Amino acid sequence: MADLADLTISEAGVGLRAGDFTSVDLLEAVTKRASMTEAQLHAYLTLDHEGAPTQALSADEMFSNGEDRGPLQGIPVALKDNMCTLGVETTASSRILAGWIPPYDATVVERLKASGAVITGKTNLDEFAMGSSTENSAFGTTRNPWNTDKVPGGSSGGSAAVAAVGSAFGSFGSDTGGSVRQPAAFTGVVGMKPTYGLVSRYGLIAFASSLDQIGPFSRSVSDSVAMLEIISGFDPRDATSINARVPEFGRSLAKGVSGMRIGIVSDFMNPDIIDSEIIAATRAMADRLQDSGAEVVEVALPSTEFSLSAYYLIAPAECSSNLARFDGVRYGHRSDFEGTTEEMMAHSRAEGFGPEVIRRILLGTYALSAGYYDAFYGQAQRVRTLVRREFATAYEHVDALISPTTPSTAFGVGEKSSDPIAMYYSDLCTIPSNLAGDPAISVPIGLDDQNLPIGFQIMAPALGEEVMYQVAAEVERLADFTQRPYLATSIEVKP
């Protein structure tokens, strides 16, 4: 029989309700998978060996009492380690927070627990979510389960890896400039960024507050819908939370794309910046969508050329403000340096922050400094406004936009770590949706000549998740992507 760890969330839910197995069985399956793969992957920072079994037993008890709290009840899922978890260490993969135990749960964690989900543990990330490869973690690099010489993407590389390899049935990451969609593309899973404000950021350790959003990783589009519906909704503790009824995102999953008008972003089909195999795969899928009844047209978004530059001024500026709280006084690492308070703070930050975080703090502080604010930060915000307007105008003529998710498939560990600009280009196709605040999703559509996954991105207007998922479901059906990572398929499954 197939290993339980290879089921989708919906398949596991059917089995739970039929009594074929229990939540405890599912947790044992993913824990066993983790024990067999973690030595190669290093995707988890913490496995909750106390809390998770208790949650699984509670979910089983609810089932036995006839209580059903929805599609995630009894399902083991993992969390990126920048979401606060009551009583469980939360580090954001930084030495400055090593050993910190939050006194509260993030809103997303509260909602998952209320749904009966089982939280397996906390996953590795680029420190404070700053990176595109999960090589910037203070606690070691995460590897790609398709090829352990490759990166899993970032910053949510740990969450992507556990969803791909089966050491969780799904997981959650945060997406500031592509940090869910890019690693989803690199690891062959579905990764989604919601409309800004749809999911509460309360309890998410902030990187760039006007860009951060929590989103799900899953092995199917329908699983992504189920996960998003659980965590969405208004939260008065987040001032940017949208105060509106949460729609049924999956209402149109089976409708197909006949009659829809879909725009392919020509700016992201340039062979000078996107690998030829990815362009070919994207064009082939666009043609298949057209064969399925959609009208596919070319759409130009010229301001996206400047999105990368604007993002790497806006995000570091916000991070320089947000990370000012880590000063060695209130919580986190404190230096043993004997001197003035200011000197102690400076030494605490120098010892606690890694080089990429320091680089971005310095860049952001410079962009906000007197004499440079208008030339850099102010100009970047004007570019952001242009990007928003171009997307809004495009959506007046098309229902959704499509493009590659990434310029390349997964690159080698260490290949770009010494070249920050090359690393930043990994998010070229994903950053514009963050600047606009619109939803976007990556769906795997095939493998390149190195047997590495290729991601296909679908974008939609703000609060257009239903349309986005409608197109994504058709892409998933057409791609029929059933391949699994090397690490998952190399495991011997006994009947």
Choose the catalytic residue: 155, 200, 218, 408. Answer: 155
Choose the catalytic residue: 23, 80, 403, 416. Answer: 80
The DSSP bridge partners found for residue 264 are 298, 402
Is residue 70 within 8 A of residue 84, CB to CB? The reply is: no
Pairing of strands 261-265, 295-299: parallel
Integer angstrom CA distances of residue 187 from 37, 182, 441: 15, 9, 14
d(CA 318, CA 207): 7
The DSSP bridge partners found for residue 85 are 88
d(CA 297, CA 260): 11
Choose the catalytic residue: 133, 179, 232, 417. Answer: 179
Q: Can you spell out the DSSP letters for 100-155?
A: ---SS--HHHHHHHHTT-EEEEEE--SGGG--SSS---TT----BTTBTTB---SS
Q: Can you spell out the DSSP letters for 58-76?
A: HHHHHHHTT----TTTT-E
d(CA 474, CA 477): 5
Active site residue 193: no
- Helix, strand counts (H, E) of the chain: 16, 11
d(CA 329, CA 48): 29
Question: To 5 degrees, how large is the angle CA 204–CA 406–CA 429?
Answer: 75
268 three-class SS: helix
C-beta atoms surrounding 278 within 10 Å: 27
Active site residue 348: no
Structure tokens at 71: 């599609």
C-beta atoms surrounding 28 within 10 Å: 17
At residue 101, φ and ψ (nearest 5 deg) are -110, 110
Burial of 40 by CB count in 10 Å (0-12 exposed, 13-18 middle, 19+ buried)?
Answer: middle
Active site residue 137: no
What are the catalytic residues? 80, 155, 179
